[in-house]
Amino acid sequence: MGNTDYINEDLLQSRKAKKFNLWLGMIGMFMMFAALSSGFIVYTASGVDKGIKTLLPNTFIYSTLMIVLSSITMFVAHKATKDGNTSRQKLFLLITLVFGVLFFVFQVDSWSVLFGRGITFVNPNASQSFIYIFTGLHLAHIIAGLVVLVRCLVGVLRKIPQADNLFRMDLASIFWHFLDLLWIYIYVFLLLNQ
The pLDDT value recorded for residue 185 is 95
Select the more confidently predicted residue: 77 or 41.
77
100, amino acid identity: G
The pLDDT value recorded for residue 75 is 98
Residue 6, pLDDT > 80, answer no
Q: Does domain 32-192 have CATH number 2.40.420.20?
A: no
Task: Calculate the average pLDDT of the chain.
Answer: 91
Residue 46, pLDDT > 60, answer yes
Is residue 146 within 8 Å of residue 58, measured between CB atoms?
Answer: no
Q: How confident is the model at residue 189 (pLDDT cuts 50, 70, 90)?
A: very high
The pLDDT value recorded for residue 1 is 47
Q: How confident is the model at residue 123 (pLDDT cuts 50, 70, 90)?
A: confident
Residue 12, pLDDT > 90, answer no
Nearest CA among 113, 110, 121 for reference residue 187: 110
CA dihedral over 106, 107, 108, 109, signed as positive or negative? positive
Residue 81, pLDDT > 60, answer yes
User: DSSP assignment of 14-53, as one string?
Assistant: HHHHHHHHHHHHHHHHHHHHHHHHHHHHHHHHTTS--S--
- Answer left, alpha or beta for residue 110, where phi above 0 means left and psi between -120 and 50 means alpha: alpha
